[in-house]
Structure 1
Amino acid sequence: MDKKLLGRRINAARKERGWTSERLSEICNINATYLRQIESGAKTPSLQVFVALCEALKVSPTYLLADSLPGAESQDLDALLTLCRKATPKQLNMITAMIRSAIEAAPD
C-alpha cells in the first residue's frame, strides 16, 4: 500500500467537505498531528482509525485505497455509489436515466 496516495485521498476527501484537519481529527477522536502525518504519508492509520475516517468522510474503504487495489472498475463503481448516496431523489432519477441512456447508446 502506498501511504502517500492514501494520505492524498484522505486529504482530498476532507477538503471536499471544507473541513480543517483539526475538525476531522475531532470527529475521529484522534490527534490533529497524527492526522496530518497520515495525510502526508508519514504514518499509516490503524484499522480503527481507518474505519473512523471512512465513516466521518462518508467514503468507502475502496475509495481511499483505490490506487492500491487492482481493478479500476470497483473504484468507478464506488465513486458512483458515493455520488448516488449524496443525491436527492430527483437527482437520483436523473442519474439513473443518464446511465441507462449511455448504456443503450454505447456499442457492445
Structure 2
Amino acid sequence: MGQNQLGKRINAVRKDRGLTSDKLSELCNINATYLRQIEGGTKMPSLPVFIDICKALRISPDYLLQDELTENEISTIREVEKLWKDAPPQKQELVLTMIKAVLEHTEQ
C-alpha cells in the first residue's frame, strides 16, 4: 500500500469518528502537522504512532493495512474468526485447548 492509501483511510476514519486532526494528534501524542503529513501521504507513521492511531480511532490495523495483506492472510483470519464466533462456548474451549496442545507439541 502506498503511503497515500494509508493516509486516506486514516483521514476517512478520523472524520467518520468526528475527530479533528488536532484532536487525533493530541490523542496520539504527535504533532498535528505530522498527522496531516501522514494523512496526505507524504509521511509514513512509525509502528508506535500507527498503533496509537489505531487505538485512538478504535480501528483494527488490518482495516488500515488491507492493501498490504494478501487475501490469503486476511481470509484465513476472518474464516477462523467466523468459526470462533459461531461456535458455542463448549466448542470454543475445546478448540482453544487443541490449539494450545498443537503449539506446545510443535515447540518440542
After the TM superposition, which segments of 4 or more aligned residues of structure 1 sit over 4 Å from their partners?
Answer: none
Query: Judging changes above 3 Å, is the alpha-carbon distance between structure 1 residues 72 and 31 closer, same or farther for their aligned structure 2 residues?
Result: farther
| 2:64 aligned with 1:64 | yes
Alpha-carbon shift at residue 74 of structure 1 (Å) = 2.7
Query: Judging changes above 3 Å, is the alpha-carbon distance between structure 1 residues 72 and 24 closer, same or farther for their aligned structure 2 residues?
Result: farther
Query: Judging changes above 3 Å, is the alpha-carbon distance between structure 1 residues 48 and 68 closer, same or farther for their aligned structure 2 residues?
Result: same
Match of 1:3 in 2: 3
Query: Judging changes above 3 Å, is the alpha-carbon distance between structure 1 residues 21 and 42 closer, same or farther for their aligned structure 2 residues?
Result: same
**For the residues of structure 1 that align with 2:5 and 2:70, how far apart are their CA atoms?**
14
Match of 1:54 in 2: 54
User: What are structure 2's unaligned runs of at least 5 residues?
Assistant: 82-108
Alpha-carbon shift at residue 72 of structure 1 (Å) = 7.9
Match of 2:36 in 1: 36
Alpha-carbon shift at residue 3 of structure 1 (Å) = 0.5
Q: RMSD in angstroms over aligned alpha carbons?
A: 2.1
**For the residues of structure 1 that align with 2:10 and 2:34, how far apart are their CA atoms?**
13
Alpha-carbon shift at residue 70 of structure 1 (Å) = 1.4
**For the residues of structure 1 that align with 2:74 and 2:31, how far apart are their CA atoms?**
32
How high is the sequence identity, in percent, across the aligned residues? 59
**For the residues of structure 1 that align with 2:33 and 2:72, how far apart are their CA atoms?**
32
How does the TM-score come out when normalised to structure 1?
A: 0.66
| Conservation of the 8 A alpha-carbon contact between 1:66 and 1:72 | no
Q: How many residues align?
A: 78
How does the TM-score come out when normalised to structure 2?
A: 0.66
